[in-house]
Amino acid sequence: MNYFIKIFSLVGLIIFPQVVGGKNLLCKPQTTRICDIKSCNDTVPSITISVDFESKKYKRCFNKECNLNNSVVTEAGEMIIVNIIGGTFIKINKLDNSFVDVATLLNIVFLNFGFCENSE
């Protein structure tokens, strides 16, 4: 039975584009929404996000200025969740490398959607 599980896992790694194998991910939003209590508005994405799984660091760059934060990395099914203290997290889908990034500032929520890639 264990051999079946190992073979199935290997087949899954070949079929699905797994980004988690690398130490670092670069995530680039394709869509950004900014929401407050009254409405949400689409805007042009202007950030990049880097996740270093080895050092558990999360880096968010906006207009060439970057913030580096410690993070807590967990997995739930096919999702990798990277939490940063203060109301920010990114969820990465291991099946297709898509992500949603949620950040808050006061009562404003920034939602970013896109794809991640390995960046060694």
**pLDDT by position in tens, the chain (length 120):** 444 334 334 334 333 344 455 679 999 999 999 999 999 999 999 999 999 999 999 999 988 899 999 999 999 999 999 999 888 999 999 999 999 999 999 999 999 999 999 986
- Looking at the 3D structure of the chain, how many domains does it have? 1
Neighbours of 98 (CB within 10 A): 15
Q: What is the DSSP letter of 33?
A: E
pLDDT at 8: 38
pLDDT at 63: 82
Q: What is the DSSP letter of 89?
A: E
- Give the Å distances, CA to CA, from 40 to 36, 43, 109: 6, 10, 9
Residues 6+ apart with CB under 8 A from 107: 36, 37
Range of the domain at 74: 2-118
pLDDT at 22: 60
The model's pTM: 0.78
